[in-house]
Amino acid sequence: MAPTVADYLLHRLREWGVERLFGYTGDGINGIVAALGRADDRPRFVQARHEEMAAFAATGYAKFSGRPGVCLATSGPGAIHLLNGLYDAKLDHVPVVAIVGQTARS
């Protein structure tokens, strides 16, 4: 099977030294979740109870580890729920990457 965009995305995250990805699954990110399965859980996916908690977990991880934090959510309201955690990261000047999905459209 040919590599997908999600496979390349995870490869880049590994190059950046990302070890954990905090997220809440949804239809808009199914491709990334499938790529995580093919990547032998590198980076490790940590399931949160809610998108907002995923962003706060990524921010806390970045604050205390010194590594980039990464949060993942589906499109629409899921993506908006990341904002509080991302704003916390902004105020404390820690590196957090937010990856959000997009529903398919023609």
Q: Tell me, what's the pLDDT at 78?
A: 85
Q: In whole angstroms, give the CA distance from residue 78 to residue 18.
A: 22
Q: Tell me, what's the pLDDT at 75?
A: 87
Q: Which residues of the chain have pLDDT under 70?
A: none
Q: Tell me, what's the pLDDT at 70?
A: 97
Residue 86, classed as helix, strand or coil, is helix
93: tokens are: 């000047």
Q: pTM for the complete prediction?
A: 0.90
Q: Tell me, what's the pLDDT at 49?
A: 94
Q: Tell me, what's the pLDDT at 76?
A: 85
Q: Tell me, what's the pLDDT at 23?
A: 95
